[in-house]
Amino acid sequence: MNEIALRCAVVAVAAWAIARVPEAQGAPSGRELFTKNCAQCHGKDGHGFTPMGKQLRIKDLTASKLGDAQIRTQIMDGTKDAKGTVRMAAFKDKISVEDVEQLVAFVKSLRH
């Protein structure tokens, strides 16, 4: 393995380890965050078959093809319909950046 490849491997392992530290220290998991903040509308399984989900015509997260950046933006900034009516509240002032990353990972794990 050349020196550049070795450095890349070390950085990748370090990034992975750092990403795991908050959860290991008692921070809520993506599932816990989702249950607390999202499941009322999206359902625990992400299908959106809840009274609120049906009323808002929530999209099925298990069929979502959104990338990390798009999911992150929707969590942070919320969503509005074409008329500007809020469909999903913004969470940027309610949860930490680390929590958002946990949610992004969890939402992606719901996909089929």
pLDDT in tens, 10-53: 444 444 544 554 444 567 899 999 999 999 999 999 999 999 99
pLDDT at 72 over 60: yes
Decide: 110 and 62 in contact? Cβ < 8 Å: yes
Structural domains in the chain (count): 1
pTM, rounded to two decimals: 0.73
Instruction: Extract the tokens encoding 92.
Output: 């940027």
What is the amino acid identity at position 86?
V
Range of 104's domain? Answer: 28-109
User: Is 87 among the domain residues?
Assistant: yes
User: Is 3 among the domain residues?
Assistant: no
What phi and psi, each to the nearest 5 degrees, are found at residue 17? -65, -40
pLDDT at 56 over 60: yes
Sequence-distant (6+) residues with CB within 8 A of 47 are 53, 60, 61, 62
User: Is 62 among the domain residues?
Assistant: yes
Q: How many residues does the chain have?
A: 112
